[in-house]
Each structure stands twice: as structure tokens, then as C-alpha cells.
Chains A and B, each alone.
Chain A
Amino acid sequence: GDSVTQMEGPVTLSEEAFLTINCTYTATGYPSLFWYVQYPGEGLQLLLKATKADDKGSNKGFEATYRKETTSFHLEKGSVQVSDSAVYFCARGEGSYIPTFGRGTSLIVHP
């Protein structure tokens, strides 16, 4: 099975709504965890990361906390904007230099 599992999209929200995109992972050790964002017509860009349990990654109003007990790294933002419309990928790296990506979750924000 997948080693990184994301909620299926698309997620459709109105501007200023609260966002949560769920991500869980499987691991035998202690991976680093990442969220990447892909805007239309672009490649993936790193949004935030966390390298150990209980770390919180944050950037551009987005946050995610590394939860070892629930093997989760959910992405949250308190108030989304139209410009946040993009595809969001959860990823992990562990014991290998090759990161593993989830399937991606499309976010659509309406004015």
C-alpha cells in the first residue's frame, strides 16, 4: 500500500474559510515530513517541513504538526485566499534520499 496517504480532493472552499488537508504516513523509523504545493502550470515547491516528532512546520499562514502517535502531518490554514488554489502534496523521506509523495489534493478557493 501507499506509504503516504492524502485525502482525496478536490477540496472546495470559500475565501477566508478554514482549511485542513489530511495526511498520514507509514514508516519504520523517523522520517522527515514535507508539504509541497503546485500552482497551475508550475512544478512542485516546498511549502513547509518538519524533521522530528512534535515539530511544527509553518509558511505563508500554513501549518502542519508532526504527530508520531497518529502518524499524521495534516496541513491547516486559518483563512484561505483565492491565490491558495493549487494542488498540495504530502511527502516523506526516510532512510533514503528519494522522497515519497502522496497523490496530491486539489484545493479550489472561490471568492
Chain B
Amino acid sequence: ETGVTQTPRHLVMGMTNKKSLKCEQHLGHNAMYWYKQSAKKPLELMFVYNFKEQTENNSVPSRFSPECPNSSHLFLHLHTLQPEDSALYLCASSPRTGGELDTEAFFGQGTRLTVV
């Protein structure tokens, strides 16, 4: 148990559906991240939020829309996805205290997404 909770654990959706992934942490961390993990590919950083402000968007298609209403919650809204978007989506958080050299990240268990 890392203190980062993701729901749902598994999701199957059609290409015309709209769904949302949820991430929650009560570790007091100020930075939160979405990563995509596909088979046989490196871990891909998608979005970064720091103190609720988006600071990174690594050329992610607009069919993925993040939302960070507060420092404890992070959402990833999904719409009109493609089959190649099927992957494990991981949420992580880390402290942002000013001493950034020790940037340990805490991960959730991930949401296994299948687009049919």
C-alpha cells in the first residue's frame, strides 16, 4: 500500500464512450502525475500537476483530458479513444518541498484500460 489509490482497477470501453479515471492521495504531496505503460514500451509521462497547476503535457492527444481539482485528487477524462490507447495507466505523486533532489514517486496500482 503506497498511499495512492486508483479507481477503477480495470476498465473496458468502446471507442465512442466517455469515461474517467480517478487518482487519490492523502500523503500531503503537491505533485501528481499520469503515466501510460504499454506492452514493450518505456513508461511514458503524460501529464504533471504541481500545486494543482498543469506543468507538463507531453504531446498527449486531446482525447485525454486531465483535471486536478485539488492537491489530493487527479482525474483523467477519456473520450473517443482508439484501440492503441489500451494500456495500464498509472498515477503517481511526490513531495514538492523545495528540496527537489530527493524526488521519490509513490505510485498507485494502475487502471488496466482496454478499448474495444
Report the stretch among A40-48, A58-66, A71-79 that lies at the interface: A40-48
Range, interface on chain A: 20 to 34
Partner of A43 from B56, B101, B109 at Cβ < 8 Å:
B109
Do residues A97 and B50 form an inter-chain contact, with CB atoms below 8 A? yes
| Closest A residue by C-beta to B110 | A43
A45 contacts across to B, CB distance below 8 A = 2, 107
The secondary-structure label for the interface of chain A is: loop
Partner of B96 from A30, A89, A97 at Cβ < 8 Å:
A97
Binary CB contact string for chain A from 9 to 45 against chain B (1 if under 8 A, 0 otherwise): 0000000000000000000001110101000011111
Do residues B90 and A43 form an inter-chain contact, with CB atoms below 8 A? yes
Q: A43-B107, A93-B103 are in contact. List 10 more A-B contacts (CB 8 A).
A: A32-B103, A32-B104, A43-B4, A46-B106, A49-B102, A49-B104, A93-B102, A97-B31, A97-B100, A98-B31
Chain B residues in the interface with A (C-beta under 8 A): 2, 4, 6, 31, 33, 42-43, 45, 48, 50, 56, 90, 92, 94-96, 100-110, 112
